[in-house]
Amino acid sequence: MIWPRVIDWFRRRGLDVDLDAQLGYHLDALEADGRAQGLSPDDARAAARRAMGGLTQTQDAYRDQLRIPIVDAIRQDVRYGCRVLARNPGFSVVAMAILAIGIASATTIFSFVDAVLLKPLPYENGDRIVRILERRPGGATSWFSAPALLDWRANNTVFEKMAAQQQGLVTLTGAQDTVALRVARVTADYFKVFGIRAALGRTFAEDEDTPGKEHVVVLSHAVWRTQFGADAGIVGSTIQLDNEPYTVIGVMPAGSAFDRGGAAFDRGGAQLWQPLAFRPFNLNRDYRLVNATFALLKPGLSLDQARAQMDSIGKQIATDYPDSNRG
């Protein structure tokens, strides 16, 4: 068993003292027997030592049983390392700084890989959720126009649902304090793409992203708690956002991805959601007001199939509207 050995390793100083006492007792007893048999004191002690087999060898054999090789090796290496570092303090500081940076970098990289690549998205059907972006001729991704989104919706056959998002700020007044909050203005299917349901009330209805019906709002659980005192009767009440009345229709669940600040791709962290209603002046292909679109792949279709079709749609848009979409 390893644990008794570990315990004995920490008690080895006390055990050494016990061993010395026991060996001394046996040596004295054998020496007394020799003198009783008529041997001189010196001859009796020599005979006792021969009978014991050598005190040093016995002590070493016992101590070997207490050793844990890997622990002793680490201890020796640490002691040696400390002596080397103590002889050159400047080098020691640099070496420890490099080691700290290396450990921090490795931890950061692993945390990113674990969150982005290893862990599944915290949504229903997370393996079917994709983000759609336009890429500019220089290679960088960009925001895109409402007409592009409408073309994608009308011409694709690979997605069950598609929803757009526009991030911004909104001022809440009339609650505890006047406060600026991060808002995500989204089209009606947004929460359906992610499979997220409200803990209180509901999310957006199909037509609430049309002009005239968009004065409704969904609160994050954190904002409901901090700004409205977790009022269970909040649904149906009116709040003031940018000095305009909005009806609260829902509150997101506590601890969900949306309680931590929006979608996994939405690093800005929305604190509440309003419908994104496209007005006539938004329907200009040079007006790129949408910063993200999320879609839910149909079951059985692959990402490569979706990418191929969306590339084809994008090329057609570029052909039809070269002034705004060439390349």
Angle (deg, nearest 10), helices 55-66 and 41-52: 30
Look at residues 101, 118, 135 and tell me which one is the last residue of a structural domain.
118
As a whole number of angstroms, the distance between CA 193 and CA 125 comes to 9
Domain co-membership, 252 together with 321:
yes
Structure confidence at residue 263 as a pLDDT band (50, 70, 90): very low
Domain membership of residue 114 as a residue range: 74-118
As a whole number of angstroms, the distance between CA 61 and CA 54 comes to 11
Q: Which two tokens stand for residue 268?
A: 């800005």
Domain co-membership, 35 together with 136:
no
CA distances from 291 to 86, 266, 268, 318 (A): 56, 10, 12, 19
Structure confidence at residue 161 as a pLDDT band (50, 70, 90): very high
Domain co-membership, 28 together with 150:
no
Q: How far is CA 287 from the centre of its chain?
A: 35
Report the pLDDT value the prediction gives residue 178, as an integer from 0 to 100: 83
Domain co-membership, 317 together with 221:
yes
Say which residues have a Cβ less than 8 Å from residue 136's Cβ, sequence separation at least 6.
Answer: 142, 327
- Higher pLDDT: 7 or 192? It is 192
pLDDT digits (tens, 9 = 90+) for 198-209: 999 999 999 999
Domain co-membership, 164 together with 107:
no
Say which residues have a Cβ less than 8 Å from residue 103's Cβ, sequence separation at least 6.
Answer: none
The CB-side HSE value for 204 (13 A sphere, CA atoms) comes to: 29
Domain co-membership, 99 together with 236:
no
For the four alpha carbons of 153, 158, 160 and 166, in that order, the dihedral sign comes to negative
As a whole number of angstroms, the distance between CA 89 and CA 82 comes to 10
- Helix (H) or strand (E) run with residue 82 in it: helix 69-87
Domain co-membership, 282 together with 313:
yes
The model's pTM is 0.61
Domain co-membership, 33 together with 95:
no
As a whole number of angstroms, the distance between CA 156 and CA 305 comes to 11
Domain co-membership, 192 together with 61:
no
Report the pLDDT value the prediction gives residue 281, as an integer from 0 to 100: 83
Domain co-membership, 311 together with 187:
yes
Domain co-membership, 46 together with 163:
no
DSSP letters of 178-225?
-EEEEEEEE-TTHHHHHT---SEE----TTTTSTTS--EEEE-HHHHH
Radius of gyration of the chain (CA): 37
CB 186 within 8 A of CB 276: yes
Number of domains in the chain: 3
Q: Which two tokens stand for residue 176?
A: 């505890």
Domain co-membership, 303 together with 154:
yes
